[in-house]
Amino acid sequence: MLNRIDRLARVAVVVAAAALVSATSSFAYEGGAVSGGGTIKGMVKLNGTAPEPEVLDVNKDKKVCAVTEKKSNELVVGSNGGIRYAVVSLTNISKGKAFPEGESVLDQEGCEYLPYVTVVAQDHELVIKNSDGILHNIHTYSEKNKPVNRAQPKFKKKIKETFSEPEMIKVTCDVHGWMRGWVAVADHPYYAVTDENGAFELTDVPAGDYEIKVWQEKLGESTQKVSVPGGGEATVTFELAQK
Amino acid sequence: MSKADEEKKSYASVFLLAVALLLVTSVWIVWDDQISRRPWKKYQYEFSQTQIERAKAEVSAEEERLGADEEYQKVLADLEAARDKTTSGATASQLSELASKENKARVAFDDAEFNLRLVKSQIEEAWYELEHAQLAHADTTSQRAHLDELNAKKAEVEEEVAETLARLNQILSEQDEIRSVVDSLEKKKEELEGAKSRLEQKVDGMVIQVGPFDFPKIPKIEQVVLNEFDRNAYNQPVARVDRCTSCHAGINKDGFEDLPNPYKTHPDRRLYLGKHAAEKVGCTPCHQGQGAAVNSAEQAHGHVKYWLDPMYEGDNVQASCIGCHADVRMDAAEKIALGEKLFEQVGCIGCHLVEGYGDLPKIGPYLGRISAKVDADWLVDWVKNPHEYRPRTKMPNFYFDGDEAEAIAGYLLSASADESEAWLGEHDLPSGIDSGNAALVAEGERLVDSLGCRGCHGLAPGESPALLGEGKDIAPNLSNIAEKTNARWAYHWVKDPRGYSPVARMPSLRLSDQEAKAIVSYLMTLGEAATDDSATRARLLEADNVVIGEALVRKYGCAGCHNVPGMESESRIGVELSVFGSKPLEELFFGNRTDIPHTWEDWTFNKINEPRIYETERIEQVMPHFALAESDIDAILTFLASRQEGYVPKEYRPSDYDNEVTLVEGRRVIERYNCVGCHVVSGRGGAILAHYEENPTLGPPILTGEGAKVQANWLYGFLQRPVPLRPWLEVRMPTFGLSDEETAAIVNYFAAEEKIDNPYVHVDLASLSPEYVEAGELLASDDYFSCWTCHQQGDRKPEGPKEGWAPDLAMAYERLNPNWIVDWIKDPQALMPGSRMPSFYDFTDDSPDGPDDVLGGSDLEQVKALRDYILTLHAPTGAVAQPAVATDAEESAPEPAEMPSEETAAADSSAASEAQG
C-alpha cells in the first residue's frame, strides 16, 4: 500500500515537472541546427570625444599585480571611435543555433579580470581561474541572481559558479580594490562583446526581424530593429553618447 | 339582570377572544424569545448558508474538473473494463474455478489445523499422565512412549498444516493477481477523487442531513471563556465571556474576505489570530466592547450608556497591544509603537505623570548655564515662539506675548548667571577659530560630514537625518546656529558636552583642539551671526522683570522638561494620565465648544492639536502647542487610549514578557542617545548610511545580531570607552559618558534581541588544542587563505590603503563570541549581506572546499582551527598550552576542546545558533 502511494507520488511529481517544463518551454530558448541563417555585423561607436582612461592605482601585492600599468576599462575607445567591451545581443529570439561547445572562462591574471566581459550561458558553469597564486575573491553585484562573495585562495586554481537569470553582473575583488569585470549571463547564444575597434558579429541567425540591443557600463543601453535575410548579411551601427 | 338571563348568556365570544389573545401571546413569546431577541441566529444562519453554498460550489467545481480530467476518465473506463472482465468470459470462469478450489483448500487447511490443536491437547494430557506417574514413583515407560508417539504425530500434522496453507495461499495469490488490476485502478480512482471526497466531508460537517435534504445547523451561542481575566469590584478574579463569534461566524475562517461584516474573515487573520489563538484569547481583550452581550450589535460593541470600554475604532485597536506586550515595536503595531515613542520623547512626560513612564529623564536641555550659551535677543524670540527659529523643534509654543517672553528670558539669565560666570571663567575663547578662513571652514565642513555629526543633525534648512514621528527633529537642525550661540561656547561644547551640561545627550567625538576649532569655524558660518546683546541682557536682568519671569516659569512648568536653576523640586504641572483611556466622557471639559463632537477621540485629538481650544473666560488653560503632524497626534491618541484601568493577568501575557521588558529598557537608552542615527539596530535606523551609498563599508557598522557576535563584557567596556575598531573609517564612534545602568541596558538589549540568556563568555586558551591552533595558523598564512592580506593583527598592518583593510583579529579573543566566529567563517554573507568578507567554504553541499592536507580536509574542523588560532592572537604569552609530545599517531590529532561557552552556556548557545541560523 505504502509502496503504491509512493509510486503514485513519484508519478505525480514527474507529471507535474513535465507540465511545468511544457508550460515554461514557450519562454525558454530552443537551440538546434540552423540552416540558411544570416549574419549580423556591426559596430558600436562613441558619439563625442573619447575620454582618457584613468590609470588605476595598484597599491597591493605589487609583485604580482603591478607588472604592467593598468588602465580603467570602463570606457575604452579605439582610434576609429569604436567602443570596446560593449555587449550586443538579440532581445527577442526564442529559437536558433545551439550554445557553442566548450566552457566559459573568467581568469584572474595579473590582478585583472580576463576577459573584462565574459559571456556565460544561463545555468551553465562559469569557470573562474586564479592564475595569480595570491588570494582573490569573486564578489558579484547582481540583483536577479543571488550575489556571491567567494574567496579564491592561491591553492584553488579553479572554482565554478552558475547563474540562473540573464543579467549583466559586475564583479569586483575586495582584496584588490581596482579589479573590476563583468559577466554577461546569456539566455541564448546571440551575444557578442565588441572588439578593440568596436566591431561585433552574430552568425547563424535564422532569417527574420529582430530587436538588437547594446549595453555599455558607462553609456547604458540602446536598441534597434534589424532584418536578417536568409543566407545574407545585415549591418547595424550603434552610436552611444556620454550622459 | 335575572338569574335566567344570566344562564342564557353566552360567553363564547369572550372565550374566543381570550383564546385568541392567549394564542397570539404564546406565539409572540416564542417569537420574541427565539427570534427578535436573538439577532445572532439570523447572522449565523445566513453565514452557514453561504458557507454551505460555497463548499458545495467547490464540490461541483471539483466534479467538473474530474469530468474534464483525461487521466480520471481513463481510470474510470479502465476500471469498468477490468470489472467487466472479471464478471464474464474466460477470466470469470477462471475466477469461479479458483473460488471452488479456494473453498476446498480452506476446508483442508481448517481440518489440518483442527487436527493440530487436537494433537496438542493430547500432548498436554500425556504430559499430565507422565508427571502424575513420576510423582507416584510408578513406572513411566508406557506414558513416555505415548508422549513420543504423540510428538511424532504432531510433526506430521504440522507438516500437513503447512502444506494446506501453502496451497491456500497459492490459490489466493492467483486470485489476487487476477483482481489486482481492478484493485490498483480502484486505488487510483480513490486517490484522484481525494480532493472531492475531502470537500464532500467538509460539506457533511456543515449540514444536518434529513433524507435527501440537508439544512444548515441550528445556530447556537459560540463563546470563549477567559478564566480570571477580569477583576470584580472586590478585586477578585472573575472570568470574561466573549460571544462575538456567535455573529462573526466567519472571522476565523479563510475564504470569506469578500463578505461584509459580521460574516467576513478577519482582515489580517494570519497575523493577529495566528499569534493570538482566538479560542483562548477571545476578541474583547484586543477590540474591547461588551463580549457577553448578544441582544444587539450596539450592546455587543459596547456603544451603550455607562459601558466604559466601547470597541476601539480603526487602528486604535492597537492600544490593546501594549496591555499585554511590554515591547510594541513589532509587526502591525506601528501606531501604538509610534504613539508610545512620541509620548516619551516629545515631552508629554514632562508635565503629565503616567505610570511606568514617570522615571524617564527630562527631555529638554540643561538651563543651569544657559546664560553662557545663548544670545539674549535670540532667547527672547525663542521663548516667544520656538517654531519660528526651528520649525521642527520639540520645544512647544506657549503663546507668550513679548513681555512674558522677556520676563522668562530674564529669569533664566539671572538664575543661571553665577554658574555661567564660573563656567566661562574656566572656558576661554581659544585663538584659531576663524569663520572667515575659507580653508579652515572647509576643513570644518569636511569633518562634520565625515565624523558622524550628520547621523543626528541636519545642516541645511529643512534637512533632518533623525525624525521623531512626522515632523519633529531628535537633535537640533544647525542651519542657523550662529544666530543662537557663540564660538566660545560652541568650542567647549563640541569638545566636551558633559563639561557644560551634566545631562547632555550629545556625545564627545574626542575631537582634537584643531578639529574642534575647524568645526566651530564652520558652524559659525551657518546663519547670521548674533549681534551684541549687552543692552538686551541689561534690560532683561532688571529685578522686576526677573520676578515676573520666575512666576511664569513656575506656572508653565518649564522644569518638567528642563533643569531650571532654582526649581529643582518642582513637580509636574499637568494632570496624571495613567488611566486617561478609561476616562468617561462626562469628565472631559469641552468648554463652550459645541462644534466638536462629544466623543473621547474628538476631545483628545483637538486638545493635542490646539491645546487651548477648550479655554473659556473663566477657565484658563496652559498646555502649550507642539505643532505635531496629524498622524503623530493620532498615534499619541492611540497611546492615551491604551492607558486603561485594570491590567492583564500574567498568564495572558506573552511567555517572553521579561525579554520584552529588557528590550524596552535597552531601546530607551539607544533612542535617548540616538544610536540609531548611525547604526542599524534590530533592522531599523542608520539614517547616516544615506551618505555612504557609494561605499557602505565606510559607514558605521550595522549592529543587527550584535548580541550573538560580541562578548557582553567586551561590549560593556567598549560602550563606556570606545576604541577604534575599524581604522579605515573616518566616522567616529563617540564617547557618550553612559552610566553603568545605561551601559548594562544596551548590552542586555543586544542579548535579548538574540534571545541569549547568558551573554558572557570566557575563552580558556589553555584548553585549546595546540594542533588546531597550528593548523589554524597554517590556514591563515599566505600559503592558504592569506587572511593578512586584508586583516590586521595588532601592529601588523596589511598592504594598501586603509579602506581596503579588515578588522584587527588580535581583538577577537576579547571581543568575539567563539561560536559566532565559526558561524561567520562558515558564511559571512548570511550574517551580513554585502560584506566584503568572502566565503572560503560552502557548507550548503558536502564537497570539501578547504585544502585537503590540513586536518584531513574537513571543512568544519578547519573552521574550528581558524577560530582557535584567531583566539590566540592576543593571548598573553604562555597562556596557550604547548604541543604535547605525541606518543602515537592517534594522539597527535586529538579532537579540539569545545569552547567553554558551548559547555557552560549550553542554553544560550543553542539560542544563539538558532538566531544566527
Of B884, B752, B916, B727, residue with least CA distance to B810:
B727
**Model pLDDT, residue B916:** 38
Domain presence at residue B629: yes
Question: pLDDT tens, B153-199?
Answer: 999 999 999 999 999 999 999 888 888 888 888 999 999 988 899 99
Domain closes at, from B179, B197, B215: B215
Task: Please report whether residue B3 resides in a domain.
Answer: no
Cα separation, B254 vs B586, whole angstroms:
42
The ipTM value here is 0.83
User: In 3-state terms, what secondary structure has residue A44?
Assistant: strand
pLDDT digits (tens, 9 = 90+) for B227-251: 999 988 898 999 999 999 999 999 9
AA letter at A30: E
User: pLDDT per residue over B312-326, tens digit each?
Assistant: 988 899 999 999 999
Does A162 reach chain B within 8 Å, measured CB to CB? Answer: no
Q: Do B799 and A153 touch (CB under 8 A)?
A: no
Confidence of residue B1 (pLDDT cuts 50, 70, 90): low
Ramachandran class of B200: left when φ > 0, alpha when ψ lies in -120 to 50, beta otherwise: alpha
The one-character DSSP state at A43 is: E
Q: What does the pLDDT average to over B775-784?
A: 93
Strand partners, A150: A138, B839
Residue B720's φ and ψ, nearest 5 degrees, are -75, -35
Say if CB B487 and CB B468 are below 8 A apart: no
Are both B417 and B521 inside the same structural domain? yes
Query: Which residue in this structure is represented by grid cell 473663566?
Result: B618
> Does position A13 have pLDDT exceeding 70, yes or no?
no
Torsion angle of alpha carbons B400, B402, B407, B409, nearest 10°? 80
Contact (CB, 8 A) for B545 and B407: yes
Distance from CA of A154 to the nearest CA of B (A): 7
Cis peptide leading into residue B848 (ω within 30°): no
In whole angstroms, give the CA distance from residue B751 to residue B766.
Answer: 27
pLDDT surpasses 50 at A179: yes
Q: B-chain residues within 8 Å CB-CB of A153?
A: 784-786, 840
In a domain, B326, yes or no: no
What angle do helix axes B70-87 and B39-68 make, rounded to 10 degrees?
70
Render pLDDT for B797-834 as a digit per residue (tens, 0 to 9): 898 888 888 888 999 999 999 999 999 999 998 888 88
CATH number at A227 reads 2.60.40.420
CA distance B158 to B625: 104
Contact B789 A151 (CB under 8 A): no
Record the cell numbers describing residue B129, joined without a space: 499422565
- What distance in Å separates the CA atoms of residue B258 and residue B298, rounded to the nearest whole number? 23
Same domain, B380 and B244: no
CATH code: domain of residue B137: 1.10.287
Dihedral sign computed on CA atoms, order A169, A170, A175, A179: positive
Cβ atoms of A182 and A116 within 8 Å: the answer is: yes
> Could you tell me if B751 and B743 are in contact, meaning their C-beta atoms sit under 8 angstroms apart?
no
What are the beta bridge partners of residue A235?
A: A41
pLDDT value, residue B2? 65
Q: Which three cell numbers stand for residue B209?
A: 442531513
Asked if A173 reaches chain B (Cβ–Cβ under 8 Å), the answer is no
Report whether pLDDT(B400) > 60.
yes
User: Within this chain, do residues B393 and B479 fall inside the same structural domain, yes or no?
Assistant: yes
**Residue A93 lies inside a defined structural domain of this protein:** yes
Instruction: Tell me if B755 sits within 8 A of B708, measured CB to CB.
Output: no
Asked if the model's pLDDT at residue B560 lies above 70, the reply is yes
Contact B636, B343 (CB under 8 A): yes
- Contacts with A155 from chain B: Cβ below 8 Å: 783-784, 851
Q: Which pLDDT belongs to residue B865? A: 96
Say if B316 falls within a structural domain.
Answer: no
Residue B893 has pLDDT above 50, yes or no: no
B840 CB neighbours in chain A (<8 A) are: 151, 153
Reported as type and span, the H/E element at residue B41 is helix B39-68
Contact B776, B865 (CB under 8 A): yes
| Nearby residues of B629 by Cβ (< 8 Å), 6 or more positions away | B469, B470, B471
Rounded to whole angstroms, the Cα distance separating A105 from B536 reads: 78
Residue A23 lies in a domain: no
**Separation of alpha carbons B130 and B146, rounded Å:** 9
Q: Which domain covers residue A140, as residue numbers?
A: 32-241
Asked whether residue B257 is domain-assigned, the answer is yes
Provide the CATH number for the domain around residue B712.
1.10.760.10
Counting the structural domains of chain B, the total is 6
Touching check for A60 and chain B: CB below 8 Å?
yes
Percent of chain B surpassing pLDDT 90? 67
CA distances for B290 relative to B76, B309, B531, B637, B900, angstroms: 57, 8, 65, 22, 56
Assess if residue A22 is contained within a domain.
Answer: no
**The three three-digit cell numbers of residue A22, written as one number:** 511544457
Q: Can you tell me the mean pLDDT for B549-565?
A: 95
Grid coordinates given for B800: 594598501
Residue B11: inside a domain: no
Radius of gyration for the alpha carbons in chain B, expressed in angstroms and rounded: 43
**Which residues from chain B sit within 8 angstroms of residue A180, using beta carbons?**
none
Higher pLDDT among residues B917 and B393, named by residue: B393
Q: Find chain A residues with C-beta within 8 A of B838's C-beta.
A: 137-139, 149-151, 174
Is residue B350 within 8 A of residue B395, CB to CB? The reply is no
CB-closest option in A5, A8, A153 to B840: A153
Mean pLDDT within B527-547? 94
Q: Within a domain: residue A26? A: no
Calculate mean pLDDT across residues B256-281.
Answer: 90
The gap from C-alpha B273 to its chain's centroid, in whole angstroms, comes to 15
Residue B299: pLDDT over 50 = yes
Question: Residues B637, B659: one domain?
Answer: no
In angstroms and rounded to an integer, the radius of gyration of the C-alpha atoms of chain A is: 21
Closest residue by Cα to residue B861 from B779, B774, B772? B772
The confidence band for B704, taking pLDDT boundaries of 50, 70 and 90, is confident
Mean residue pLDDT of chain B comes to 89
User: Quick one: pLDDT at residue B911?
Assistant: 37
State the pLDDT confidence band at A27, using cuts at 50, 70 and 90. low
DSSP B363-407: -SPP-TTHHHHB-HHHHHHHHH-HHHH-TT-SSPB----HHHHHH
CA distance B681 to chain A (A): 23
H-assigned helices in A32-161: 62-65
Spell out the residues 6+ positions from residue B339 whose beta carbon is closer than 8 angstroms to its own: B635, B636, B637, B638, B639, B640, B642
According to the model, what pLDDT value does residue A12 have?
52
Query: Does residue B591 share a domain with residue B478?
Result: no
CATH number at residue B888: 1.10.760
User: Smallest Cα–Cα separation from A109: which of A92, A133, A127, A78?
Assistant: A133
Last residue of a domain, one of B641, B666, B682: B641
Whether residue A71 lies inside any domain: the answer is yes
Helix (H, G, I), strand (E, B) or coil at B826: helix
A234: which strand partners?
Answer: A40
pLDDT at B890: 39
Strand-strand pairing, A104-108 and A125-130: parallel
In a domain, A139, yes or no: yes
Residues B268, B207, single domain; the answer is no
**Domain range for B106:** 33-215
How many other CB atoms are found less than 10 A from the CB of residue B123?
16
Does any domain span residue A147?
Answer: yes
Distance CA B753, CA B745 (A): 12
User: In which band, very low, low, confident or very high, does the pLDDT at B726 lie, cut at 50, 70 and 90?
Assistant: confident
Lowest mean pLDDT across A1-10, B136-145, B518-527, B622-631? A1-10
Place of cell 505635531: B628
Cβ atoms B478, B523 nearer than 8 A: yes
pLDDT digits (tens, 9 = 90+) for A187-208: 999 999 999 999 999 999 999 9
Binary contact (A139, B836; C-beta < 8 A): yes
The answer to whether residue B320 sits within a structural domain is no
Residue A15 lies in a domain: no
B831 occurs within a structural domain: yes
Distance from CA of A202 to the nearest CA of B (A): 36
Please name the residues in contact with B855: beta carbons below 8 A apart, sequence gap of 6 or more. B772, B775, B861, B862, B865, B893
Check CB contact under 8 Å for A177 and B184.
no
Rounded mean pLDDT, A92-121:
92
User: Is the same domain home to B203 and B228?
Assistant: no
- Average confidence (pLDDT) over B388-396: 95
Task: Give residue B27's pLDDT.
Answer: 95
Residues B228 and B206 in one domain: no
Residue type, B418: D
Alpha helices in B136-217, H assignment, sequence order: 141-192, 194-206
The confidence score (pLDDT) of residue A7 equals 54
**What total number of domains does chain A contain?**
1
Predicted local confidence at residue B438, as pLDDT:
96
Please give the interface size between A and B, counted as residue pairs whose CB atoms are below 8 Å apart: 70
